[in-house]
Amino acid sequence: MVSVSMETPEQTEERLRRVIAQADVLVHDGVWCFEEFPVDQPPVLTSDTLAVVRDDQSWSRLVPLTQEHEHIEHFGIFSFHFPAELDNSGFVGWLAGQLKVRLGTGVFVICGSNRARGGIYDHWGCPIDLLDEAIAVVKALRAG
């Protein structure tokens, strides 16, 4: 269930630092990219497909980069699974802001749900060249 928190900015910061410290974090190996498909031709799901999303014109499948293509962005991916009892509301905006301020980069986030592991989880993508730095920021925030 999505939580609604009425708190001061300081309380939000304190709560989200507890959330990141208690979340399960996974850094996915390799370089990742989006493959695009026409909306009337959904992509085949494979064991290495991490996420699939669509808009009104196309499908995008997030998969490991297997061959170079011109104009395809290369991403590093890391994921968070949150304990069910934690209020993680605001986490995406908070961490995205931290990464933007500290690294100068934006990110993308794809969320899903796995009730067996606590509920909502996030896959985060950043430019592959900044993955190590992004993970260093995450580790520093987890350490307090």
In the prediction, which pLDDT does 118 show? Answer: 85
State yes or no: pLDDT of 29 exceeds 80. yes
How far, in Å, CA of 81 to CA of 79, rounded? 7
- The whole model's pTM is what? 0.91
- What tens digit of pLDDT does each residue of 115-135 get? 998 888 999 999 999 999 999
If pLDDT is split at 50, 70 and 90, which confidence band does 71 have?
Answer: confident
Q: Are 31 and 74 in contact (CB under 8 A)?
A: yes
Number of neighbouring beta carbons within 10 Å of residue 143 = 9
- What tens digit of pLDDT does each residue of 84-103 get? 888 999 999 999 999 999 99
If pLDDT is split at 50, 70 and 90, which confidence band does 67 have?
Answer: confident
Q: Tokens at residue 36, please? A: 């695009």
CA distances from residue 107 to 14, 113, 128, 137 in whole angstroms, order as listed: 22, 20, 11, 13
In the prediction, which pLDDT does 1 show? Answer: 53
pLDDT mean across residues, the chain: 93
In the prediction, which pLDDT does 5 show? Answer: 67
